[in-house]
Structure 1
Amino acid sequence: MKCGLIEKAKSQFVDTIEKEAYVWCEKDWKHDEYEHVHHRAQLTFVEEGYQYFHIDQKIYLVPQHHVIWIPSGKAHKITSEAQTVNLTVFLFKSVFEDEFYRNVQVFTAPSVLKEMLLYASKWNQSLIENEEQDLFLKAILKSLPNFCKESNGLEITVPSDIRLIPVCQDINSNFKYNMDIDSLAEKAQMSVRSLQRTFKNETGITLQKYHQLTRILKSIELIDTRKFTLSEVAYKVGYQSLSAFTSSYFAVMKTKPIVRKSHGVSS
């Protein structure tokens, strides 16, 4: 059983729960790294740690205090290297007709939404009919489009053009260093101009943005270990100063980086 759903065959889940919506809290969550699908819409709130969701050739980062909305029937795989992942999953049998609910959404949980999600955890795994729970979860569901003022843009599209694969691999391996656009073009066997145009068409972002996103994603993983100061993290992902790193992090995450104190490390 996973989040209340019974796995009858690998990746295929049967929903035997009659309730319209229910809550499943998971402390120290462990992933299985294979794609699965179910016929309930899913809202996941990451209370601690971070997760990567692999959906439709895209990789979505869901850091601490963020939520991801996944429409019904959307196949997804989840991975994470976080030391600890604590999360709450909300599964809805039916949703409203708004466009919002038809697409994957990732956004920061505003303080009001965060408190609502934490309050709802008191119904963890409860299958008993409860009027307050039904109304409360429906209110969360109805309010999601208003809470999602703008997505964080924390997704990276995996290009289908095989010429771009070595380009992505090079950036992923050498993110600490400045990009050598001529070298990347040579790897793709394209001109620089053609590489930039093709990459943007395939992924929706520029090479420079991909490089920045890769650095910030790596920094989130390092921050999660609680072994480094922010200055150390900045250096490890290729920034020459803490202020440059903080500015880049804020541009992507819409918040400043914070290292939680652990084993003598502080921000």
Structure 2
Amino acid sequence: MKHKPINCEASVRIYDKKDCAFHARLGWSQTEWHSHRKGQLIYAEHGIMRLYIGDKVLYIPSMHAAWIPMGVEHRVATESINIIFRSLYLDCSGLDDLFYDQVSVFYASALLRQMITYTEKFNLEDTATTHEISFLEALKQLLPQQAQMKINLTLPTTAHPQLAPVTEYIQAHVHEKFSMPDIAGRFGIGERTLSRLFQKELLLPFSQYVKLVRMVKAVEMLIRPGSNVSEVSYAVGYESLPTFSNNFNEIMGIRPNQFLQK
């Protein structure tokens, strides 16, 4: 499905306020590369987002949020027709917690989700009220404590002429059961050469990259209504449900059945 472009400069008026929030039903959308003069907290309901930072793609599932420090070049793509995009732009001057200096993706607690949603009451065009100012200040103070459950659902990217077709194939055939010899043979690359390419270009062994691709697809499927853990496990190439559950827990910090219940 084609993504609708989002013009981030269209909301340049947000910088007239110290802290502010933007909420919109975006559907399939994407931004260009850009940065902000404030820290940005992004959260999406009913879908998954992709956050591009440098040569990495960070996946942000439903019920999760991401923090992007001031000045960090990035772009965002939303992956659902029904997605509601919520973005808070926060002045972090005077805040010394290391959280505010690092890009992170984390599970958004019920309290944080409620606070983010509550900011929809605050109009971008209006002068900030005392209530709005104090509420957003409280949110900033709480944020590091509410962002403890970090996830690392991150895929490195590459433009290497030999490796890029391999990673594209893996992502398109995540349901298949394949090994390093299978892939090396399909693309006419020696196993040792392919192994070195993964380590050099992606800083990951082949097996870890495949695991991450399977987990990304699993998360995309699990957020759909009516999802079944067993069916998703099989659909992303696993024959063993316990192995799938263990790998999911390793990446996401919770079991897939717990993820479904959130």
TM-score band, normalised by shorter chain: 0.7 to 0.9
Query: Which 5+ residue runs of structure 2 have no aligned equivalent?
Result: none
* Greater mean alpha carbon deviation, residues 40-49 or residues 73-82: 73-82
String of CA shifts for 1:214-260, please: whole Å, max 9, x gaps: 11211222233436533222221112244433332222222233599
User: Normalising by the residue count of structure 2, what TM-score does the alignment of the two structures yield?
Assistant: 0.81
3-state SS, counterpart of residue 71 of structure 2: coil
Partners of 1:188 and 1:144 in 2: CA distance: 46
Query: Given that residues 39 and 73 in structure 1 are in contact (C-alpha distance below 8 angstroms), is that contact kept between their aligned partners in structure 2?
Result: yes
The amino acid of 1:153's aligned partner reads N
Read off the aligned partner of 1:118 and give its amino acid letter: T
C-alpha distance after superposition, 1:32-59 (max 9, x if no partner) = 3533333222101223211111221111
Does the 8 A contact of 1:4 with 1:24 survive in 2? no
**Alignment gaps of 5+ in structure 1:** 8-12
Partners of 1:235 and 1:36 in 2: how far apart?
Answer: 38
2:51 aligns with: 53
Q: Where do 1:137-152 residues align within 5 Å?
A: 137-149=136-148, 151-152=150-151
Q: What is the rounded CA distance, in whole Å, between the counterparts of 2:153 and 2:82 in structure 1?
A: 20
Which of the pair is proportionally richer in helix? Answer: 2
Aligned residues: 256
Shift of 1:162: 3.4
Q: C-alpha separation between the residues in 2 aligned to 1:240 and 1:171?
A: 17
> Residue 10 of structure 1 corresponds to which residue in structure 2?
none
1:248-259 residue pairs with structure 2 within 5 A? 248-257=247-256
Q: Is the 8 Å Cα contact of residues 26 and 88 (structure 1) preserved in structure 2? A: yes
Structure 1 pair 119–215 and aligned structure 2 pair: CA distance change class (3 A)? same
Q: Does 1:25 align with 2:18?
A: no
* Partner AA of 2:124 in structure 1: Q
Q: Which residue of 2 aligns with 1:222?
A: 221
Aligned residues of 1:47 and 1:85 also touching (Cα < 8 A) = yes
CA distance in 1, matches of 2:150, 2:194: 27
CA contact (8 A) 1:40 1:92 kept: yes
Distance in 2 between the 1:6 and 1:33 partners? 10
How far is 1:186 from its partner?
5.1
In the alignment, which residue of structure 2 is the partner of 1:173?
Answer: 172
Show CA shifts across 1:172-219 (max 9, x none): 122222332124345676643453344234323322121111112112
* Same amino acid, percent of matched pairs: 25
What is the match of residue 106 of structure 1?
105
Match of 2:132 in 1: 133
Aligned-residue RMSD, C-alpha: 3.2
Q: How does 1:227-266 map to 2 (within 5 A)?
A: 228-257=227-256
TM-score, structure 1 as length reference:
0.80
Q: Give CA-to-partner distance per residue, 1:88-113, whole Å, 9 cap, x none.
A: 21012444344432321111112332
CA distance in 1, matches of 2:72, 2:186: 34
Q: Find the aligned partners of 2:64 and 2:14 in 1 and give their Cα distance.
A: 29
Question: Given the superposition, is the C-alpha separation of residues 140 and 194 from structure 1 closer, same or farther in structure 2, using an over 3 Å criterion?
Answer: farther
